[in-house]
Amino acid sequence: MIIMKKLILLILLSSTFTVKAQTAKQDSAHHRQYHLMRKDPKQNNPYTFADSAKVKSLPIVTCGLCVFLTTGTIKERHFLVKTHNDTVNGVITAHIKLHSLINDSNSVVSLNDDREIIIKYSKAEQIKILEEYLSFEGDTTQSNKAYPFKPGVGNTRPKGTDRFTIEIEALFSFTWLLTYGYPSIRPILIDRKTGEQLNGSPQKVAEVFNVYKRWLSRNKKRNFRNSGLPLDGFKYGWLGDSNARIFTRAF
């Protein structure tokens, strides 16, 4: 009888160890699966980046129990990335970076102008880049982006406004990429009739984003023939866009 009890106890201990081992193996597998899901699915593309957006729950079944892990939904941007935040005079700043197909460190050409970068991409890729700029709508982080406004001066940050945010940068860079030379425009949205500056008006900035979205959709269908600029003829515009003719480039 004693031998039988010991045998039963040994069997129970063995079963418990087996269940724990299987559970640990499952947990390890799910852990690896979780991190694989967190990685960019297009990780072989060196120009693919991921930004977190909305939150969702992913169910993982372990030992008959359903466990929910909260992860960020991946909003992919293949060509653009928002830089790490920097603090300038107590203000958090960042900017949008367009990835270059040329390694700047090995190039004798300094690509200070995003227009020099975008032309290295195919037409289809250039259109996707414009689409990605519009995905920054609603980002009110202060921008530290600089542009080559004048020849021989280098890149300088915009003056005349303290409301130069990431979403304003996105709209202005979208426009800048459609031009060539040194256009007189500056990243300050204005009401053409009153001259009022609009960078700090979320509702009016949202209106402008809608204009850009419609412009892009319309010109994709027209193959960008005689496209002009998104705010041509609209009640809002960029500061300086009425002072001189702005030359736009063809796709």
131-184 tens-digit pLDDT: 999 999 999 999 999 999 998 888 899 988 879 999 999 999 999 999 989 999
Q: CA geometry: angle at 75 spanning 71 and 80, to 5°?
A: 135
Q: Where are the domains of the chain?
A: 42-78, 79-239
Q: Give 220's contacts (C-beta < 8 A, 6+ positions apart).
A: 127
The pLDDT value recorded for residue 72 is 33
Given the structure tokens 């496209």, which residue do they identify?
Answer: 227
Q: Taking 70 as the threshold, does the pLDDT of residue 16 lie above it?
A: no
Amino acid 226: pLDDT: 77
Q: pLDDT tens across 73-110, in order? A: 336 899 999 998 887 667 889 999 999 886 655 544 44
Pairing of β 142-143 and β 91-94: parallel
For 25-84, the pLDDT digits (tens) are: 444 444 344 333 333 433 334 333 334 333 333 333 333 333 323 333 336 899 999 998
Q: Residue 244's pLDDT is what?
A: 58
- Torsion on CA atoms 60, 63, 65, 70, rounded to nearest 10: -30
Whole-angstrom distance, CA of residue 217 vs CA of residue 131? 10
Average pLDDT (11-28) is 46
